[in-house]
A and B are shown apart, each in its own frame.
Chain A
Amino acid sequence: MIQYNRFVLDNGLRVLVHEDPSTPMAVVNIMYDVGARDENPAQTGFAHLFEHLMFGGSIHIPDYDEPLQRAGGENNAYTTNDLTNYYCQLPAENIETAFWLESDRMLSLAFSEKSLSVQKKVVCEEFKEHYINKPYGDVWHKMRELAYTRHPYRWMTIGKELSHVENAHIDDVKHFFFKHYRPVNAILVVAGNVKTEPIRQLAEKWFGDIPMGEKYRRSLPQEPEQTQARTLDVEADVPLDAFVKTWHMDARLDKGYYEADLLTEILGGGGSSRMFQSLVKEKQLFSNLDCYHFGSVDKGLVAVEGKLVKGISIDTAEKAVEEEIEKIQASVVSDTELQKVKNKTESVIAFEDMGIMSRANSLAMYELLGDAQLMNTELERYHRVSAADLLQTAKRIFRKENSNTLRYHSRQS
Chain B
Amino acid sequence: MIQNRKKAPGIVDAVDMKLQLKPYEHFTLDNQVPVYTVDAGSQEVLMLEWVFYAGNWYEKKNIVAATTNFLLKNGTSQKNAFSINEHFEFYGAYLNRSCYNETATVTLHCLSKHLPELLPVVAELITESIFPEEELAIYKQNQKQRLQVNLKKCDFVASRLIDEYLYGLHHPYGKYTSTLEYDQLEKVELVHYFEQFYVHGRCMVFAAGKLPGDIALQLNNAFGHLPLNAAALPVIDYPQQPAGTKKYRITNDAAGVQGAIRIARPFPNRHHPDFQRVAVLNNIFGGFFGSRLMSNIREDKGYTYGIHSYLQNHIHNTAWMISTEAGRDVCEATITEVYKEMEVLRTEPVEEEELDLVRNYMIGSLLGDLDGPFQIIARWKNYILNGLTEDYFYNSIQTIRTLSAEELLALAEKYLQPEDFYELVVV
A residues neighboring B (CB under 8 Å) = 20, 22-25, 59-61, 65-67, 69-74, 89-91, 93-94, 96-97, 99-100, 103-104, 107, 117-126, 128-129, 132-136, 205-206, 208-209, 237-240, 269-272, 277, 280-281, 284, 287-288, 307, 309-310, 336, 339-340, 343-348, 350-351, 353-356
Contact = CB atoms under 8 A, between A and B. Distances in A.
Contacts of B6: 60-61
B41 A354 contact: yes
B92 interface: yes
Given A69-B290, A126-B305, A25 B368 contact: yes
B107 to A, nearest CB: 13
Contacts of A208: 1
Contacts of A74: 288-289, 361, 364-365, 368
B167 to A, nearest CB: 27
B372 interface: yes
Contact of A135 (B89, B93, B149, B303): B149
Given A24-B371, A271-B85, 20 more contacts: A59-B5, A67-B8, A69-B289, A71-B360, A74-B289, A74-B361, A89-B368, A91-B14, A94-B11, A119-B302, A125-B326, A128-B258, A205-B1, A205-B3, A237-B255, A271-B89, A277-B82, A287-B145, A307-B145, A344-B89
A347 B94 CA distance: 9
B182 to A, nearest CB: 13
Contact residue range for chain B?
35 or more
Nearest to A107: B5
B305 A122 contact: yes
A245 to B, nearest CB: 20
For the complex of A and B, the 5 pairs showing the least CB-CB separation, nearest first, are A72-B364, A121-B302, A347-B92, A72-B14, A271-B85
B424 to A, nearest CB: 17
A411 B398 CA distance: 58
A23 B375 CA distance: 13
A344 B9 contact: no
A238 B152 contact: yes
A336 B86 CA distance: 10
Contacts of B41: 354
Interface string B141-182: 110011011001110000000000000000000000000000
B327 interface: yes
Contacts of B303: 121, 125
29 contacts: A24-B367, A65-B289, A67-B8, A69-B364, A71-B11, A71-B360, A72-B11, A72-B363, A72-B364, A74-B289, A91-B12, A93-B17, A96-B10, A122-B302, A125-B304, A133-B154, A133-B253, A133-B258, A135-B153, A240-B148, A270-B85, A271-B73, A271-B89, A272-B86, A272-B89, A347-B111, A350-B44, A355-B371, A355-B372
A97 B364 CA distance: 13
A89 B357 CA distance: 16
Interface string B253-265: 1011110000000
* Interface majority SS (helix, strand, loop, mixed), chain B: mixed
Contacts of B374: 354
A22 B42 contact: yes
Contact of A307 (B149, B257, B358): B149
B39 interface: no
Contact of B357 (A25, A69, A100, A238): A69
Given A125-B302, A135-B149, A209 B89 contact: no
B246 interface: no
Given A24-B371, A133-B258, A240-B145, A71 B14 contact: yes
Nearest to B85: A271
Contacts of B253: 133
Contacts of B44: 350
A240 B253 CA distance: 16
B277 interface: no
B302 A347 contact: no
Nearest to A24: B367
B82 A69 contact: no
Contacts of A351: 43, 45, 109
Contact of B92 (A67, A103, A129, A343): A343
A70 B290 CA distance: 10
A280 B85 CA distance: 14
Contacts of B93: 347
Contacts of A24: 17, 367, 371
A311 to B, nearest CB: 10
Contacts of B363: 72
Nearest to A23: B371
B269 to A, nearest CB: 27
Given A60-B5, A72-B365, A271-B82, A287 B357 contact: no
